[in-house]
Each structure stands twice: as structure tokens, then as C-alpha cells.
Structure 1
Amino acid sequence: MKITLETQPKDNNSKVNGYLFVILMWLVSRLVIIFAMQVVAPFMHTSPVHPYWQPPYPLDYTRGFFPQAGWELFSHWDGKWYRKIAVEGYSYANDGNQHSIAFYPLFPLISRGLMTFGIPFEVAGTVLNNLTFLGALLLLYYWVKERHGTNVARWATAVMAWCPFSLYGTVIYTEGLFLLLTTAALRAFDNRQYVWAAVCGALASATRATGITLLPTFILVAWQEKKPLSAYIAGLCVPLGLISFSLYCAIAFKDPLAFVHIQKTWAQPSWWYILTDAIAVGRDSLIKVVMVFGGGYMLWYFRHQLSKTAVTYGFCSLLLIIFSGALMSVSRYVYGIVSLSWALGLVFSRHNRWGYAILTWFAISLYAYAFNFSIWNWVA
């Protein structure tokens, strides 16, 4: 009893300090994004930002556009598609044009639910993504802390919060929700909470295509670690979100794979182009190559220190991304693999100077990405 009384305040302080650290990382990094988008971009652009574009315009929204402070700046690119789904529902036709059925349903469905309280979509989508991103950071922090302690947990959290592609945890995209669900599913599976792993896994597969990689992850780890039958059932529950979406497509559009077939209307680079452009030091292509293959190397190097669930999920996700053909946003998809933030946190915990230098570069790039996103420049 004496030991319990003496250690309890320390445990409570540690938990409070953990919460405060995560919230601080989330808040300060989000303020950098907000400052770039809501203050700097409107101040610098008082006339149309793309006067050199000629018809046909890349998107109708970009014609004569100039940024004005407000919620609309968070809804560019995919955000406009999610708005269309939440407000009007899905559309699809096999006519060679782009349609909203390409986007998975959970994020716009929850946004629609928030809109029933009188909240505009731009507010609902932004708040949803930011809060779920904060939840993902908290889950990552405590998952890593359980295995490596506070130092590595802080570095891993800082990596996820400050990576330039964490921009998509603030604007109206699915990154926050997807990271929350996949991290919750993986941590639950590690902790033998198979019902929770099954629920979060099914929801993840209704959020983004790469959510389906939780299926082979759970099955392979269950087999390797000789887990009980409930672990295999958790894996088999993962596709339920995707299957539900497919059933909807079959009923509404007579095509259960409409969300797959529509992908051909989005132009995608090839790996040959990405690799040759990276060799020529094309910045975006070089980032893609480093993130994909550097991420794979980190997973292999730390395979005995990360949890087996995290390693297996990381490799399954990378393989799906590599062979999916959807390569335009590879960097953003790789960022959505939580295992890589954990692995990079391990690197920085051992090499602090490199960690601080790279996080500084992350912060500068995050500001630049946010600014460019707000003026309709493609980021990832």
C-alpha cells in the first residue's frame, strides 16, 4: 500500500505531462498552418493567384480565385469532392469523367452527421479532421511509450505532428480519421483487445483503400504469434467497411467496383517517371522515393524493436501503395502509415541533433505546404 501511495502521484504527473506534450505539439504545428493559410496567403494575394491559367481551368473553383481568410481555404482539392458527397451524395457514370464515387464514405458520412446540427460543411470537415488527428497523436504517444518510454514517444509524436504532410491532418482530407482508426486498431490488436481492433479496422477500410492492409496484418501476426481464434476473426472483420461500400455501389450504380473503375480518370505518374525524375533531382519525385524506400529500410532496420504488428502493417501498406498505381499522392499515403512515425522517432531519439535539424526543416516545409495549398497549388 505504501508503494502504491508513493508512486501514484508520479504516475498521474507522467500522464498529465504526456497529454500536455501531445496537445502542445498538435496546437503549435496547427497554428503554423493556420498562420500560413489565414494570414499570410490573403495578405500576399489580393488579386487572382493564377492569372496565367487558360481555359479549361484545372478546377472551376480556381478561376479568378484569390484567398480570403475563412473556412473555405481548408476545403481545396479533395475537400471539394468530400463537400459534394456530404451535400449531394455520390455520383458515378462510366463516361470517362471524374466522379465522387472515387472517395471512400466514412469521412463525408460523419461530416454529414455533424451538418445536421446546423454546422456548415467546411467547419464540420475541418473540426472532424483536426480532432481525430489529435486523437491519433495521443494514441501514438501512449502506444510507443508502452514499449520504449517517454523519450521515444515524444520524438514519434513530434514526427507525426510536424511532418509537412501533417497539413492533411488539418485541411479537409481523411488523414486524421484514418490515422486515428488505424493506430487504434493496431494498438488494440497488440494489447489483445480484438473486438476493438475489429471495429476500428472495419471503419478504417471504409475510410481509405489502404485500410484493407489491416486484414493481412492481423492474420499474419496472429499466425506468427499463435494468437487465439478471436485474433483471426478480428482480421476477417476488417473488410466489412469496404464490402459495405461495394454493396452500396452495386445497389446505387449497378457496379460493385465503381470506386475502383473510376480511378482511371485520374492521371497518375508511373514509377519509371518518378524514379527518373528523382535521379534528375526533381523535388517531389525525390521525396516520394525517399519516403517509400527509406521507409521500407527503416521498418527492416527496426523490425526487432517495433511491435510485430506495426512492422507487418508498415510493409503491407508500402506494398499496396507501390503496386496500386495511384502514385500522384504517394508521399501523403506513406505519411499515413503510423509505423513510420514510430520508426523515425526511434532514429531521432538516438540522434537528437539530426532530429532537431530535420524537425526544423519539417516546420519550414509545413508552412510552405500550407501556403501553397491555400492558393490552389498542388502539394500531394
Structure 2
Amino acid sequence: MNDLAPAGVPGPTTCAGPAAGTALRRATPALAAYVAVRLLGLLVLAVWSAADGKDWHTLLTARWDSLWYTRVAGQGYGYAVPMPNGDLHSSLAFFPLLPWLERGLSALLPLSPADAGMAVAWVASAVAAWALYATGERLYGPRAGIALAALWAALPVGIVQSMAYSESLFTALAAWGVYAVLTERWVAAGVLASLAGLTRPVGAAVVAAVWLTAAVTLWQERSGGVRLRAALRAHPGMPAGVLLAPLGWCGFFLWVGARQGSFTGYLDVQGGWGNGFDGGLAFGAFIWQQLSGPTVVGGLGLLLGVGLVIWLYVHGVRQGQPLPLAVYGGTVLLLALTAKGYFGSKPRLMMPAYPLLLPLAAALARRRPVWSWLAIGVMAAGSAVYGAFWLNGSGPP
């Protein structure tokens, strides 16, 4: 099969691939690069926090969303905070997989739920980096895989990967789920998509990758004159994977709806937080406000950043990015840019969209190693400084 074919749909898998141990050994340089970048970020955060009279551990485990996750882990759902403007911030907005893991890990080990959440994030981020290496290696070779993992670590908001947040856990499940689609491990893809759907609302992006890839694969088979039954036999596990994929996301959505007494219960909960989807109208108004006021420079920077991520997505698609990656990355990007709410969260919401980094990883893989590592080093240093500044200031909401 040609993974770089414009159609981007994987062909039949004829073997199960190398053993996990062999695959992990191949990924060791990527994991080492990932850990080095993140350790730099943590070191700068610790020094900056100490100089600012703050505790780096508290910044990573006991602020913003991490407090809500640990509250769910310790007390279950049902906690809500009325706001002065009449909004209601409910714990039902937070998907359950991370709190479940926090509760289970803190019961097995001498860890608080908050520390358990940070441990999950650290392990999951390394697992995600492994999946990113496997993806980059499959498409462009080992050097691209290493670059992809390092670039993801060096994102400006990469410090979130080390926090007791759900982004690292989600990215690990999503990246391996999409990789399972690439390699036609349909049952594994369905299970991982379902778990991702229990982790964050954007789990719908993994479901979309499974469903659309399956639909296009069958459509291409049918266009070639293959009967549907024969096409399904040629792709074992596809029906099961397609059925399994939405169970996590739909299950939590329906459970919240039943608890709230309304089919749109989860959307109502998000509305209480000021979140929701309006097609990008609120975000567009926010950018215009920045451009038309005294913060015009910041508005231009924001506009440039949005243009860059859209260009990266389009460039990746034009390079022949496989369909599962294009669907997943595009859906994450679309949901992030069209959501209303606190606009400072958007870089964090886009962090799981790792396919956007594939064109950069492929470009770095073609350069001399000294220049590639210099570029990644500069990005890592910038990420470390920005992450420490960000987390000691307003930080991720």
C-alpha cells in the first residue's frame, strides 16, 4: 500500500506488524527527544515559579480544570457553582475518564487524586509521543517521526501536557486510534475512539476519522465492482470498529441528558459555562475587537496564528495526508475555531491536532540533522519560557 497516495485511504494489512517491544525500541530516540523538551519546560517552570514565590507542583496539579477533575474523582458528579451573571458552572461539563483514572490510581498508590492526575498526564503524554513517532515514521520515515514527537512537545502551550489536565490522555488515545485506522486495526480503532470519547468532547473527531475512513474505503471497493459483503470480508473488524467508536462519547452525552432531563442536557451544561458552537461568530468578533482597538498588534498576531494553522492543515492535505489524519486534524481544528467561550483556551484546544505538525516534521526530516535539531531546540526554549510565563500568570483556564 502507498501511505502517501492522494486518496489517503489505507489498504489491506497483511501482517500484524512488529512486536510492541521492537516498535518501542525504534521509538526510543523520539521518546528521549520528547522527554528532554518537556524536562526543559519543567525546569524553567520550577525556577520561574520559585523566583515568583509560587510552587510549580501546585501550578501543575491544583489550578483551573484540574481542580474540577479531582473534585469529580473524589466526590462524583453533582457539584455546581452559581456565577454572579446567572451562569452555572457544573462538574457535568467534564468527561469522566481522567477522574476515573485519578480515583483508581489514588486508591492503589499513595497519591492524591491531583498527583494521580499529573502522573496520568506524564505517562499519557509519552504514550502520545510514541504514537506520533509511529505515525511520522510510517508516512515519512524515522527522522520525521522523531521530529513530530519533538515538535508536539515544543508547542507554545506544551506545558499543558505535564498538567493534571485531560489533553495528554486524549491525545494518546486519539493518536493511537487514528494510527489503528491507518493500519486497519478496526476493532482497536473503535475501542480507542470510544475511550477518547469518554475523555473530551472533541472525541467526536476520532469517531469521524473511523467512520469516514470506513465509508470511503467501502465506497472505493464498491466503485471497483466489489460486492459489499466481499468488501467487508476484505476489511475484518470494520463493522465492529464502526459500532464501537461512538459508544463513549454518545454514552456520556446521553447520560448527562438523562440526568438533566433533556436530550440537550450536555449542551445546556456547556452553555452554563459560556461555551458552545456558533460557527466562529464569537471568535471572529473577538479578533475584530482586537484589530479595531488599542490591541491591534495582538489582533494581528492572533490573525496570523489562525492563518498559520489553517495553512498547515491545507498544506498537509495537499501533500496527500492520509484520510484518517486529515479528518481527525480538520475536525479538531474546526471545533476549536468555531467554539465560543474563553478565547485564551483555543491554543490548548488545538494541541491534540498533531496532524497539523506533519508538514513541519517532514520538512525538518529533509534538512541536515544539525539544522533540524537547532530549530527544535529554539522552539523548545521558547516553549519553556512561554509556558513558565503563562502558567505563572493567567495560564490555561
**Both proteins in one fold, TM over 0.5:** yes
Q: Deviations over 1:137-189 (max 9, x none)?
A: 11111222122111211211111111122211101111111111111111101
1:116 match: 107
Secondary structure in 2 aligned to 1:270? helix
1:183 match: 175
- Alignment check: 8 A CA contact 2:173 2:192 kept: yes
**1:355 and 1:109, CA in 2 relative to 1: closer, same or farther beyond 3 A?**
same
Shift of residue 18 of structure 1? 3.5
**How do residues 68-217 of structure 1 correspond to structure 2 at under 5 angstroms?**
68=55, 70=57, 73-91=60-78, 96-117=87-108, 118-217=110-209
1:62 match: none
1:241 equivalent to 2:248? Answer yes
- How far apart, in 1, do the equivalents of 2:114 and 2:152 lie? 24
- Alignment check: 8 A CA contact 1:104 1:207 kept: yes
- How far apart, in 2, do the equivalents of 1:327 and 1:349 lie? 36
Shift of residue 21 of structure 1? 1.3
1:7 match: none
1:296 equivalent to 2:288? Answer no
- Alignment check: 8 A CA contact 2:283 2:337 kept: no
Shift of residue 98 of structure 1? 1.2
- Alignment check: 8 A CA contact 2:190 2:210 kept: no
Of the two structures, which has the highest relative contact order with CA contacts closer than 8 Å and spacing of 6 or more? 2
- How far apart, in 1, do the equivalents of 2:79 and 2:252 lie? 14
Secondary structure in 2 aligned to 1:169? helix
- How far apart, in 2, do the equivalents of 1:214 and 1:198 lie? 9
**How do residues 273-352 of structure 1 correspond to structure 2 at under 5 angstroms?**
273-277=286-290, 281-283=296-298, 289-303=303-317, 304-326=319-341, 328=343, 329-350=345-366
Structure 1, 132-141 or 337-346: larger mean CA deviation = 337-346
Task: From 378, 382, 389, give the equivalent of 1:365.
Answer: 382
**1:324 and 1:377, CA in 2 relative to 1: closer, same or farther beyond 3 A?**
closer
| Residue identity in the other structure for 1:110 | L
Shift of residue 26 of structure 1? 2.4
Structure 1, 81-90 or 18-27: larger mean CA deviation = 18-27
Secondary structure in 2 aligned to 1:98? strand
- Alignment check: 8 A CA contact 2:59 2:392 kept: no
**1:354 and 1:290, CA in 2 relative to 1: closer, same or farther beyond 3 A?**
farther
Structure 1, 175-184 or 331-340: larger mean CA deviation = 331-340
| Residue identity in the other structure for 1:82 | Y
**1:29 and 1:287, CA in 2 relative to 1: closer, same or farther beyond 3 A?**
farther
**1:180 and 1:12, CA in 2 relative to 1: closer, same or farther beyond 3 A?**
closer
1:29 match: 37
**1:219 and 1:101, CA in 2 relative to 1: closer, same or farther beyond 3 A?**
same
- Alignment check: 8 A CA contact 2:332 2:353 kept: yes
**1:170 and 1:277, CA in 2 relative to 1: closer, same or farther beyond 3 A?**
same
- Alignment check: 8 A CA contact 1:204 1:211 kept: yes
**1:107 and 1:74, CA in 2 relative to 1: closer, same or farther beyond 3 A?**
same
Query: Where do 5+ consecutive residues of structure 2 fail to align?
Result: 1-18, 222-230, 276-281
**1:220 and 1:251, CA in 2 relative to 1: closer, same or farther beyond 3 A?**
closer
| Residue identity in the other structure for 1:368 | V
Q: CA RMSD in A?
A: 3.0
Query: Where do 5+ consecutive residues of structure 1 fail to align?
Result: 1-10, 47-66
Shift of residue 360 of structure 1? 4.0
- How far apart, in 1, do the equivalents of 2:121 and 2:358 lie? 21
Shift of residue 325 of structure 1? 2.5
1:56 match: none
- How far apart, in 1, do the equivalents of 2:154 and 2:310 lie? 21
Structure 1, 323-332 or 127-136: larger mean CA deviation = 323-332
- How far apart, in 2, do the equivalents of 1:232 and 1:375 lie? 48
- How far apart, in 2, do the equivalents of 1:316 and 1:232 lie? 22
- How far apart, in 2, do the equivalents of 1:171 and 1:115 lie? 16
**1:116 and 1:17, CA in 2 relative to 1: closer, same or farther beyond 3 A?**
closer
| Residue identity in the other structure for 2:63 | H
Shift of residue 319 of structure 1? 2.2
Shift of residue 225 of structure 1? 2.6
Structure 1, 124-133 or 20-29: larger mean CA deviation = 20-29
Secondary structure in 1 aligned to 2:114? helix
Q: Deviations over 1:77-108 (max 9, x none)?
A: 11111111111111256862212111111111
**1:326 and 1:207, CA in 2 relative to 1: closer, same or farther beyond 3 A?**
farther
Q: Deviations over 1:301-348 (max 9, x none)?
A: 232432221112222222222333246222112221121122321233
- Alignment check: 8 A CA contact 1:182 1:201 kept: yes
1:266 equivalent to 2:281? Answer no
Shift of residue 39 of structure 1? 3.1
1:375 equivalent to 2:375? Answer no
- How far apart, in 2, do the equivalents of 1:37 and 1:255 lie? 44
- How far apart, in 1, do the equivalents of 2:144 and 2:291 lie? 31
- How far apart, in 2, do the equivalents of 1:356 and 1:267 lie? 42
Shift of residue 211 of structure 1? 1.1
Shift of residue 72 of structure 1? 5.7
User: How many aligned residue pairs are there?
Assistant: 348
2:216 match: 224
